[in-house]
Structure 1
């Protein structure tokens, strides 16, 4: 398979073309995807038609998936995948975990003791207007800090937790301190 890489911006992201994730990638092609992820921090692979099982098989090549605490939003029979969005069940209850107002930034599982190495998003349905997903590189931002500021924060730690929106989960996961 011939994988092509197109950087998306000067600081983060690459689009990968020439791979079909519904089939198992060769070890060589998977290494190319993995190396692109390490280099660009975010990978975009368009036009995939994936079953939940194919998503999980691809995800497992990166390591052991962490199962979300929000079990009510797992894909039935596939706990490695949680639904994110603003969809509802026929009774009006949420069928996916969502940001209620579309204005909350976050870093996936930053409050967990063991930080995720990879987060995978698979878009099933996009809205006609809005629905933007934005990415930023904290590594790049840190590297571009003025030397006096970087020196001032060197060695400090930051604690993330679910406090604002998920108090009932806080008891299960109080957050952990990590290098800033």
Structure 2
């Protein structure tokens, strides 16, 4: 079995030891002196190795197009390595979300991971509890995630020094970049998006796990873009199919620059189909999101705004094809970015710490649905 992160701090070179020590000092400097609820001393982040790191001088070349074969295409449809006799399955809603017990992702074979890719494509979101994933070495975490595709390196977010594959989600009493990014003067703090949909080859099967979680709140809401599409009339579906929309990284890059943060790759804008087809299941799904979709190609400004507003409202109000994933340390969730959108929930105390990691494998060039 791969060594844990705590073991790495002992076994690696002095430079890594110095860096971990520096991160601990940083955590001590930022944390409140006491827990706001209990009055007890705050121990700081459970995994200071994964505190977010930014280097504004870091630069990367543009991403290149690559061939991608989804591992779900190789999977045994009966999933004998994943859905064993010991596994307890609980579907969370008819359209999206399944929780599995007695599965340890790190122990699955390559064939088992193929079955995971297929199952996530079918159920859109899969929740795994009591995983050892958070305690694996970063190399092993990246190795497992890479089974699903090349890991995307985010152009602006906090990562781990020396490990740019990690996308760090971190908030505590003195650090709340997400709230700043979406704007503070809002009645509704949901922000529906599909991760980095502006990339030419956006993500597919995505991994997200919790290191520290508030005692209440801090969930993620997911919506099935397949069911959102299915609810539309046949005539409306035909009108959408064949259309494309521009997805933009510009606002994200400008926000990072204003904060004196990195823009590791120059911001791009990419045309993506409004309706895409999943390469494994063949299902059609809407592919628009408030976070990154900017306009419909070929439409007048008012036409584009009107249609996109309808689609955003349809997706966000569709509570009967949403699911809310809740977390605890050791929870690992996998979702398919091609056929879902999601939003964090900013419903927990400002004094609480929430610390999570995302590894984001890229997938194929989006396949457009044809009318």
Q: TM-score, normalised by structure 1?
A: 0.81
Query: Displacement of 1:164 after TM fit?
Result: 4.0
Match of 1:8 in 2: 92
Instruction: State whether residues 117 and 205 of structure 2, in contact with CA within 8 Å, keep that contact through their aligned partners in structure 1.
Output: no
Match of 1:172 in 2: 266
- Superposed CA offset, 1:66-119 (max 9, x none): 111126x1123322111113247xxx5x4x863435432211011112111122
Distance 1:74 1:87 in 2: 17
Query: Displacement of 1:4 after TM fit?
Result: 4.2
Match of 1:78 in 2: 163
Match of 1:108 in 2: 195
Higher relative contact order (CA 8 A, sep 6+): 2
Q: 5 Å matches for 1:129-140?
A: 129-140=216-227
Q: 2:150 aligns with which of 57, 60, 64?
A: 64
Two-structure CA RMSD over aligned residues (Å): 2.6
- What secondary structure sits across from 1:122 in the alignment? strand
State the aligned residue count. 173
Say which one has the larger Rg: 2
Query: Displacement of 1:134 after TM fit?
Result: 0.6
Unaligned 5+ runs, structure 1 = none
Distance 1:114 1:44 in 2: 25
Instruction: State whether residues 11 and 137 of structure 1, in contact with CA within 8 Å, keep that contact through their aligned partners in structure 2.
Output: yes
Instruction: State whether residues 83 and 97 of structure 1, in contact with CA within 8 Å, keep that contact through their aligned partners in structure 2.
Output: no
Match of 1:153 in 2: 240
Distance 2:267 2:89 in 1: 38
Distance 1:29 1:165 in 2: 36
Distance 1:48 1:69 in 2: 29
Query: Displacement of 1:46 after TM fit?
Result: 1.3
Structure with the larger helix share: 2
Query: Displacement of 1:131 after TM fit?
Result: 1.0
Match of 1:98 in 2: 178
Query: Displacement of 1:129 after TM fit?
Result: 3.1
> Given the alignment of the two structures, is residue 38 of structure 1 paired with residue 121 of structure 2, yes or no?
yes
Structure with the larger strand share: 2
Instruction: State whether residues 253 and 267 of structure 2, in contact with CA within 8 Å, keep that contact through their aligned partners in structure 1.
Output: no
Unaligned 5+ runs, structure 2 = 1-80, 258-262, 275-371
